[in-house]
Structure 1
């Protein structure tokens, strides 16, 4: 994507100039390009960055947490939204990249540097309420058509667990539309995520049904590319822990996770 390359070049030029002028700053130590995914209507564009929409939901909250960390560390507040697979590929292949929300798994543990967690959730398989044969067992789920986010933790985990009929999509919204249209039978997601999705797309909540089958528990983090120096990892980690223990954390939850009252 030319616009991504241009934005990364602009950030690198800015931080290089800061490094020359202010050799003791965080910019002098390392420039990091931040990306997120699956933002839907939860965020607003703010120049070359994003900001959370009040009452927008979990992604709005996560964006504002990252912005708060950037402010505390005097880091350029540039965040770009990209498809999950694109962001994950950048994280794997490029230097100086941060990507959130990324599920931390044993298989990924040594591939990246981790700061968080931003969220901890239990995910269930959801199905269409009009599905003729409700899925009631894990064995049935393995034989079903399951939509997953391309390149996500569930793409990897369910493949390894014998789910042979995975349908990969670039967004959760696409998965939900496929579920509603009967093109897939299941999708794994948390109850909070599904509530946000049906509202964003405009599907009546009664048309989607949560099964009793737990897909898994996920813990989401800010993932940094492996080249992040240890000293920088500690700075981000300490900033996160300080924010997590401060009243601002609760204020961010109240402002961005709770629906806006009329």
Structure 2
């Protein structure tokens, strides 16, 4: 049977097309098997910690929302919510313990966790967006348990610090032997009230919120004058998260600050 030129051309190209299709399919299979090398923005798992008394679930959406004038955690939550809205991703934020958040950062490739102190020891382990705020932290005790400086605090019966926090790590690095761990800062101040802890850590800006949460009058508290730590809090990301995502989040935060909206959120959510 006589073949047309089109039929001949089709027969000539068919093996090549088949080979090309096989190559494409093979590449797709390899890419699917290998998986992404970095987290896609829409797939980020966003975590935070220690929201007790400062956040609540929206009854309509189930989303975590900051409580007005309740403190730093509420402010952080609302600031990050606005960043997520600005970059155009679903606003899903989950509360975990600080230790769980740090473990997720270290073991998963798709995590953003806030608020985290950007220490020299952590600098190369994660990627960073911020700062959300700068703070000074002190050791506090009840009246009667007074110490003049941090060196004297070594003789305290016990110092309560959140497990895995920068305070916990710093006290260990400085050779303190009297540290007891707790899952939250509120629990540390609860132990301070009950007498099972002699000292507890807090930033100066968030002390009142902790005292109110466990019903300790301000008149019954004293602090060691020497700061334990001065630092800035950031959003930490798994090291595998794409740098383009980090830049987008940082740009969104910068715009939030320059527009004045950041200060508005600060005034609304920090305790007054």
Q: Same fold (TM over 0.5)?
A: yes
- Structure 1 counterpart of 2:174, from 114, 136, 161: 161
2:257 pairs with 221, 244, 249, which one? 244
Tell me how far apart the structure 2 counterparts of residues 203 and 171 of structure 1 sit (CA, whole Å): 17
Give, in whole Å, the separation in 2 of the partners of 1:185 and 1:207: 13
Verify the 8 A CA contact 2:142 2:198 in the aligned structure 1: yes
Query: Per-residue CA shift, 1:117-159, capped at 9, x if unaligned?
Result: 011011111011143xx21132211232211110001111110
Once the 2 structures are TM-superposed, how far is the Cα of residue 28 of structure 1 from its aligned partner?
5.8
The offset of 1:48, in angstroms, is: 4.3
1:38 matched residue in structure 2: 50
Q: 1:137 corresponds to which residue? A: 149
TM-score (norm 2): 0.81
Counterpart mapping for 1:2-21 below 5 A: none
State the partner residue of 2:78.
64
Q: Which residue of structure 2 aligns with residue 172 of structure 1?
A: 185
Whose Rg is larger?
Answer: 2
Residues 21-100 of structure 1: matches in 2 within 5 Å? 31-46=43-58, 47-100=61-114
Matches within 5 A, 1:216-255: 216-255=229-268
SS of equivalent residue, structure 2 residue 180: strand
How many residue pairs are counted as aligned between the two chains? 231
Segment of structure 1 superposing worse, 201-210 or 222-231: 201-210
What is the alpha-carbon root mean square deviation over aligned residues? 1.5
Alpha-carbon deviation of 1:34?
0.7
Runs of 4+ in 1 over 6 A off after TM superposition: none
Structure 1 unaligned residues grouped into runs of 5+: 1-26
TM-score with structure 1 setting the length: 0.84
Alpha-carbon offset, residue 49 of structure 1: 2.6
Name the structure 2 match of 1:10. none
* Corresponding position of 1:147: 160
For residue 4 of structure 2, what is the aligned residue in structure 1? none
Q: Which runs of 5+ in 2 are unaligned?
A: 1-38
